[in-house]
């Protein structure tokens, strides 16, 4: 088995991969309205989706997990790329407006630790967009066998993870309703299949997307409650 980074490059250079990036790019653009001078980071393998991110950005970071291997993006001087540890992001506190997580979340061993780190890097009104394979979808085995992903997710699991780690889920999207095969007929009709799937077969989509907003007030209240508990405990002692 090749390194993950090579698998991503092979996949997205194929007809199937290009069809996938076209569909998901539209979804990303739909979920994220343009923000001028925004600061965005992409964690995972996000080069096929760079065009769907607002071009009037202030700074764009491509953060590649070390387990994926090294990859050089052809970026402008406004953009930076780095090999990173997902649990210790090389980004300052509250320095990002948006965080796109694609081909990354399904490889993590500690999702709580990652989400707390993501929370740290996002501004008070920052948003995270996570794209993961659906536990019940047609693509789950493709992700496991071709991309060597560790797990898949349901909407309920994502919702619970985000709520328990100081994020407020705003919107869920399902996509990729066709099987992961290079069938010219299916791919030529992928837009029709997507519309049909979104209407009747959301449960079986290949991937799940969730947009969530940083819940800054929840942490403040939690810290106040912890301080109150400590004061009461010290008083009793």
| DSSP letters for the chain | ---HHHHHHHHHHSHHHHHHHHHHHHHHHHHS---TT-EEEEEES-GGGGGGS-SS-SEEEEEEEGGG--------TTEEEEEE-TTS-SS-TT-EEEEEEESSGGG-S-HHHHHHHHHHHEEEEEEEEEEEEBTTSTTHHHHHHTS--S--B-HHHHHHHHHTTTEEEEEEEEE--S-SS--HHHHHTHHHHHHHHHHH-GGG-SEEEEEEEE-HHHHHHHHHHHHHHHHHHHHH-
- From its phi and psi, is residue 91 left (phi > 0), alpha (psi between -120 and 50) or beta? beta
Mean pLDDT taken over the chain: 86
Closest C-alpha among 93, 108, 137, 134 to residue 43: 108
- The distance from CA 178 to its chain's CA centroid, rounded to whole angstroms, is 21
Q: What is the pLDDT of residues 188-202, one digit of tens each?
A: 888 899 999 988 889
Q: What integer is the mean pLDDT of 209-232?
A: 66
Least confident of 33-37, 179-183, 193-197: 33-37
Is residue 231 predicted with pLDDT exceeding 50?
no
Reported as a pLDDT band with limits 50, 70 and 90, residue 81 is: confident
Whether residue 64 is predicted with pLDDT greater than 60 in this model: the reply is yes
Instruction: Judge whether residue 173 has pLDDT over 60.
Output: yes
Instruction: Report the percent of the chain where pLDDT is more than 70.
Output: 85
Indicate the pTM of the whole model. Answer: 0.88
With bands split at pLDDT 50, 70 and 90, how would you rate the model's confidence at 3? Answer: low
Taking residues 134-144, what's their average pLDDT?
94
Mean pLDDT of all residues in 205-214: 97
- Does the pLDDT at position 232 exceed 50? no
Q: Is the pLDDT of residue 226 over 70?
A: no
The domains located in the chain, with CATH, are: 4-236 (3.40.50.150)
């Amino acid at each position: 088995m090749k390194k993950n980074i090579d698998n991503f490059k092979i996949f997205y250079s194929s007809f199937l991969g290009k069809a996938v990036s076209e569909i998901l790019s539209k979804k990303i653009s739909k979920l994220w309205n343009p923000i001028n001078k925004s600061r965005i980071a992409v964690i995972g393998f996000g080069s096929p989706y760079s065009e769907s991110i607002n071009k009037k950005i202030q700074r764009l970071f491509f953060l590649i997990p070390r387990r994926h291997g090294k990859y050089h993006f052809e970026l402008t001087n406004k953009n930076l790329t780095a090999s990173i540890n997902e649990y210790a992001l090389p980004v300052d506190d509250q320095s990002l407006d948006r965080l796109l997580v694609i081909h990354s979340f399904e490889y993590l061993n500690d999702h709580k630790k990652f989400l707390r780190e993501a929370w740290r890097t996002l501004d008070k009104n920052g948003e995270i967009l996570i794209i993961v394979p659906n536990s019940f979808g047609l693509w789950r085995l493709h992700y496991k066998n071709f991309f060597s992903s560790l797990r898949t997710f349901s909407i309920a699991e994502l919702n619970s993870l985000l709520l328990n780690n100081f994020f407020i889920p705003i919107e869920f999207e399902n996509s990729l309703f066709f099987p992961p095969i290079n069938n010219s007929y299916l791919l030529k009709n992928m837009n029709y299949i997507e519309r049909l799937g979104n209407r009747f077969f959301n449960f079986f989509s290949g991937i799940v997307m969730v947009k969530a907003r940083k819940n800054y007030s929840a942490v403040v209240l939690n810290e106040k409650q912890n301080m109150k508990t400590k004061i009461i405990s010290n008083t009793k002692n």
